Structures are given as C-alpha cells and as structure tokens.
Homo-oligomer: A and B are copies of this chain.
Amino acid sequence: MSRLAIGLDFGTESARAVLVRVADGGVAATSTYPYPHGVIDRVLPGTGQRLPPDWALQHPGDWLEGLATLLRTMAAAAGDEIIAVGVDFTSCTVLPAAADGTPLCLIPEFAAEPHAWPKLWKHHAAQPYADLINAAGGDFLRFYGGLTSSEWSWAKAWQVAEEAPEVARAAARWIEAGDWVVWQLCGVEARSACQAGYKAHWQKDTGYPPASFWASLHPLLPAFLDKLGPPPQPVAAPAGGLTPTWAQRTGLRPGTPVAVAVIDAHAAVPALGIADPGRLVVIMGTSACHLLVDPTRRAVRGISGVVEDGILPGLCGYEAGQASVGDIFQWFVRAAVPARYADGAGGEAAIYRALEAEAARLGPGEAGLLALDWWNGCRTPLVDADLSGLIVGLTVTTEPHEIYRALLEAAAYGTRRVIETFEAGGVPVREVHACGGLAERNPLLLQLAADVLDREVAVAALPHASAVGAAIYAAAAAGPARGGYASMIEAVQRMGGHERTRYRPRPEAVRTYDSLYGDYLALSRYFGEGGSDVMARLRRLRAAAG
C-alpha cells in the first residue's frame, strides 16, 4: 500500500489540495476550491456596508467549506493511504476569535463590524499603525530589516484596538488563518513559529516584543500577547490528530497527524528539495520572495525577517523580497504596449510572446535603457514603499521591446541586490533556485538573471509547490511510526523536487551587465538613499490630488 500525504494550500482567491506520494513526492491528485466570497474589498457580506479604501477581508466560511470539500475529494481518491495533512496559508491573514476558536464575524452581534472579519494579507489600511510602530522603534525590529509592515500582525491588531476596541476586547484569540485551520482540524490550538516569527515579531529566544512596549503604544495592545495563544512550535512539528468530527465529515481516519501551519511562500523551499544552508529560493510572481536557511541568526538590514524554525526546524530561515516583478511586466503590457503588438486573437499572452521574441534578439545594453524596478516601492534592501519606477535612456527611436528588455534587466538587478544584501550581512548564498509562474513562463528573464548575477540559475517547474511543501511538512510531522519520516531533512530529500532547468551566465553579457549594475546601484543610491527625495514627493503629490 502506497503512503500519501495531503498538502492544503490556502491562497488569495482559492484553496487547493494535492495528494503527494510519501515515497517520492509524486503528485497523485489535485483539487481546487475557489472561495465563493473571494477577496472582500468593497462590501461586507450580508450588510451592504461599503469598506474603506485599502481594506481586504476574507470569509472563514469559505475556508471551512473549502477544507471539507477538498479533504473529502482527497479521501475519496485515496482512502486509507493518507498518513498526514499539512496546511499552508497566505500570511499575515489574521482574525479575532472567541476562546473556542469561533471567528468573531460568525457571531451575530459582530457580523456587521468589519473589524471582526479576517484581515487578508493584502489589507493595507493599517499603514498608519505600522508607521507608528516603526517610529517607536524597538530592538526586536533588527531581525526584520529594521521595520514592521502594514501587512503584518501587530499593525493589524493595533488598527482593531484603535478603531473597534469592542472587537479587541471580545477577541480571546488573535490568530493567523493557517493556525486557525489547524485548530479546526485537530481541536488543538498550535501556533506556528513560521507565522509568529515572520509576521508577529516572535523570536525563539525572546518571544514576542514585551507588554511594556505595546503598553506604550495603546492600552489594548498588551492583551494581544495573551490572544496570541500558546508558544509557537517549529514547522514540521505535529499539531495533533484529526478530530472524529472532521474524520467523519471527510472520510479521513480520525487521529491522522496534522502538521503546524506554514506560510504559503515558505512551503516552496522543501518542495524544491532544499534542506540545507546557502541555497536561495526565489519565488517569482507578481512580486518576488527570497528564502534561505542558515545555522546562524544575523540582523541583516533590509531583509523581511529571520526566524529560527520558520522554514526548516533547527535552522534560521531568512526572507527578503522584491515588491514588484511580474506586475511591472503586466503593467507594461496593459498600459504601454501599442496596438500593433496585439494580433487580435492572442490577447496578452501573444503580446508577451512578441515582446519576448524581439527583446531576446537584443544584446546587453543594446536597448540603451536602464530602469529602477520600484513600481511598487522597494522591499529589500531599502524597505521604502514611497519609491517608484524610473526609466532612463529614452529616445525618439526607443521601441517597446527595448523597454520590456530594460524592465526584465531591472528585475534581475533587483535580485542581485537582494543576494548582495544577504552576503553583506554575513549570510552566504551558494546557489540560486527559482520557481513560481513567472520563472516557468519567462526564460528570457531567467537568462538575464543568470547574466546579471553571474551565477547559474536553476529553475524548478513545480506546479503547486506550496501545496507539495505542505505535504512534506506533514510527512515529517507524521514521523516513521505513522508512515512518515524521522526528520524534515529526510522528508525533503525523498519528497522534494530536484529537477531543474539550468540557465548559465554568458561571459560577454556578464561584463556588460556588471557595468550596468553599477549604474543601477548609483541610481538606486541617488533616488533611494538620500540623493533625491523626488520619488516620495511625487507619491505625495499624487495622493494629495487623488
């Protein structure tokens, strides 16, 4: 009898389950469940109440319904062969709940209160609170590149405390959606070091930032330390076993081990077969996330965070990011490519193909353009959302495919800068692995990255990488006695994907791009590090006028 693990991946618009063979990581089945309510960013369900700008909520009923549907589907496919369940979730997607885990928004008296609803990761309305936390400072921030984010747990908590104190008071729990799903499945509230570490500033040695700090900011904030529940556990730890209720509801065996939750991006690392230091994973999509493990925890300026047990147990997991990559290309194709590129039937895909074919024929520097890839601000290393995109070198003969090439090159410069930030901070990067939709779709981008980095870039075509990773954590959590593995390293080595398409640097291009990267750095310093604050002022003018 073959052994299988379920990986559950809760994304922004839908949830997905994969059934993964424990022996070799092969995917036996997949299923997707689109959330009926999607992203709630305009009107609160059942009330007609309009939400303010920058809000983004989700419906916990969608998660529960998805959970039941997906697990039933998997159980029907594999019956008794399923040995464990793992969960990854977007993060920080966080909700207030009662002591028994009931989401406040599902309790009638709170249903019409927007702050009682789960705040999705991309809820950005807590920015003023993030700004206040950053202004207050705090030693804990040194492991987060110096800054908290409006997307993270404490900024969102403070927004609730300030704008809906009755919700803050009524919430016995303030919990990541991933942890909440695990709690539903096994009846045990098990917090994940991954979510707690990257999003709520928890560190293994010092815990959360202290009550005294939060008390200095808002009287209701210290109590959130209690609402964060029991001490977080390392990823790949077993949270508990499936409850009889959920076993009956789904057809899985009661007691089936459930692993503690992980953040969706971070689950891609084991899926790529990576369990050791120095091997950077770049997940390329609309933005890019850079993940890496190392035995040592270092305070590196400009990264997103470093958390022990956050990606692999026993190691420090590092995260950095580029705030925009694929969305720059998408902006360009939608907003700035002329009619003749659209050949009618092909739509955007055809435009991308045409641009890529023409851009690939250009030599390094031939476009005569240089761009700063800050269309959404700069995450690593400047952590500055007020920065913006720049193109220099435009002439009356500049053509669209030349601009497109410059945008691809800028994305590669941004990746080089992330790697140099890690290395300057004492965190070695030996290999570069890429995955994600953009990495699979855009070979020119990968070739240019190899040229700009002067390193081989190994691309893993691994659909549903996060879900597969969740299944690997589950197999490790199950342990050998229940048909899983004795360690996460063993699980990764057996179940992780190791096939790669390899892009190798071209020496001639490396020389030119090394020089152009020098220009990228110089412009980056001028516009991002004190030379000119024009980008911030342009953003303010735009916001004031809008």
Chain A interface residues toward B at CB < 8 A: 324, 327-328, 330-331, 334-339, 341-342, 362-370, 375-376, 388-400, 403, 512, 515-516, 519, 522-523, 526-527, 531-532, 534-535, 537-539, 541-542, 544-546
Given contacts A336-B336, A390-B391, contact A519 B545 (CB under 8 A): no
Contacts beyond the supplied A339-B342, A393-B534: 10 A-B pairs with Cβ under 8 Å: A338-B338, A339-B339, A364-B545, A368-B539, A375-B394, A390-B391, A390-B393, A392-B527, A522-B534, A526-B532
Q: Which of B334, B516, B545 makes the CB contact (< 8 A) with A363?
A: B545
Nearest first, the 10 closest Cβ-Cβ pairs linking A and B are A368-B542, A389-B394, A365-B541, A366-B545, A339-B339, A393-B538, A390-B392, A363-B545, A331-B396, A368-B538
> Please, which residue of chain B has its CB at the minimum distance from the CB of A389?
B394
Cβ of A336: which chain B residues have Cβ within 8 Å of it?
Answer: 336-338, 400, 403
Are B398 and A331 in contact, CB atoms less than 8 angstroms apart?
yes
Are B370 and A538 in contact, CB atoms less than 8 angstroms apart?
yes
> Please, which residue of chain B has its CB at the minimum distance from the CB of A516?
B541
Cβ of A375: which chain B residues have Cβ within 8 Å of it?
Answer: 394-396, 398
Are B388 and A368 in contact, CB atoms less than 8 angstroms apart?
yes
Given contacts A532-B523, A534-B522, contact A376 B396 (CB under 8 A): yes
Are A534 and B541 in contact, CB atoms less than 8 angstroms apart?
no
With A and B bound together, what is the CA distance between A532 and B390 in angstroms?
Answer: 15
Q: Which of B398, B512, B526, B537 makes the CB contact (< 8 A) with A541?
A: B512
Are B534 and A523 in contact, CB atoms less than 8 angstroms apart?
yes
Cβ of A362: which chain B residues have Cβ within 8 Å of it?
Answer: 545
Are A519 and B542 in contact, CB atoms less than 8 angstroms apart?
no
Given contacts A512-B541, A526-B531, contact A546 B366 (CB under 8 A): yes
> Please, which residue of chain B has its CB at the minimum distance from the CB of A533?
B519
Least Cβ–Cβ distance between A393 and chain B, in angstroms = 4
Are A366 and B512 in contact, CB atoms less than 8 angstroms apart?
no
Cβ of A392: which chain B residues have Cβ within 8 Å of it?
Answer: 388-390, 527, 534-535, 538
With A and B bound together, what is the CA distance between A392 and B509 in angstroms?
Answer: 27
Cβ of A539: which chain B residues have Cβ within 8 Å of it?
Answer: 368, 393
Are A519 and B534 in contact, CB atoms less than 8 angstroms apart?
yes
Cβ of A337: which chain B residues have Cβ within 8 Å of it?
Answer: 336, 338
Are A545 and B365 in contact, CB atoms less than 8 angstroms apart?
yes
Cβ of A397: which chain B residues have Cβ within 8 Å of it?
Answer: 331
Cβ of A396: which chain B residues have Cβ within 8 Å of it?
Answer: 324, 327-328, 330-331, 375-376
Least Cβ–Cβ distance between A59 and chain B, in angstroms = 26
With A and B bound together, what is the CA distance between A38 and B533 in angstroms?
Answer: 49
Cβ of A335: which chain B residues have Cβ within 8 Å of it?
Answer: 338, 398-400
With A and B bound together, what is the CA distance between A11 and B56 in angstroms?
Answer: 61
Cβ of A531: which chain B residues have Cβ within 8 Å of it?
Answer: 526
> Please, which residue of chain B has its CB at the minimum distance from the CB of A334?
B338
Given contacts A331-B398, A396-B376, A526-B531, contact A544 B339 (CB under 8 A): no
Are B390 and A390 in contact, CB atoms less than 8 angstroms apart?
yes
Are A367 and B400 in contact, CB atoms less than 8 angstroms apart?
no
With A and B bound together, what is the CA distance between A397 and B375 in angstroms?
Answer: 9
Best-surrounded residue of A366, A376, A541 (most CB of chain B within 10 A):
A541
Cβ of A515: which chain B residues have Cβ within 8 Å of it?
Answer: 537
> Please, which residue of chain B has its CB at the minimum distance from the CB of A519?
B534
With A and B bound together, what is the CA distance between A482 and B399 in angstroms?
Answer: 56
CB pairs A–B below 8 angstroms (27 shown): A330-B396, A331-B396, A331-B397, A335-B398, A335-B399, A335-B400, A336-B337, A336-B403, A338-B338, A364-B541, A364-B545, A365-B542, A366-B542, A368-B539, A369-B538, A370-B538, A375-B395, A375-B398, A388-B393, A388-B395, A389-B393, A390-B390, A393-B535, A393-B542, A512-B541, A523-B534, A526-B532
Cβ of A544: which chain B residues have Cβ within 8 Å of it?
Answer: 365
> Please, which residue of chain B has its CB at the minimum distance from the CB of A323?
B396
Given contacts A338-B335, A338-B336, A526-B526, contact A534 B390 (CB under 8 A): no
Least Cβ–Cβ distance between A385 and chain B, in angstroms = 10
Least Cβ–Cβ distance between A390 and chain B, in angstroms = 4
Cβ of A367: which chain B residues have Cβ within 8 Å of it?
Answer: 542
With A and B bound together, what is the CA distance between A534 and B526 in angstroms?
Answer: 12
> Please, which residue of chain B has its CB at the minimum distance from the CB of A398?
B335
Cβ of A516: which chain B residues have Cβ within 8 Å of it?
Answer: 541
Least Cβ–Cβ distance between A287 and chain B, in angstroms = 10
With A and B bound together, what is the CA distance between A328 and B544 in angstroms?
Answer: 28
Cβ of A545: which chain B residues have Cβ within 8 Å of it?
Answer: 362-366
Cβ of A519: which chain B residues have Cβ within 8 Å of it?
Answer: 532, 534, 537-538
Cβ of A532: which chain B residues have Cβ within 8 Å of it?
Answer: 519, 522-523, 526
Q: Which of B330, B341, B400, B538 makes the CB contact (< 8 A) with A365?
A: B538
Cβ of A363: which chain B residues have Cβ within 8 Å of it?
Answer: 545
With A and B bound together, what is the CA distance between A538 and B398 in angstroms?
Answer: 12
Least Cβ–Cβ distance between A376 and chain B, in angstroms = 6
With A and B bound together, what is the CA distance between A526 and B531 in angstroms?
Answer: 9
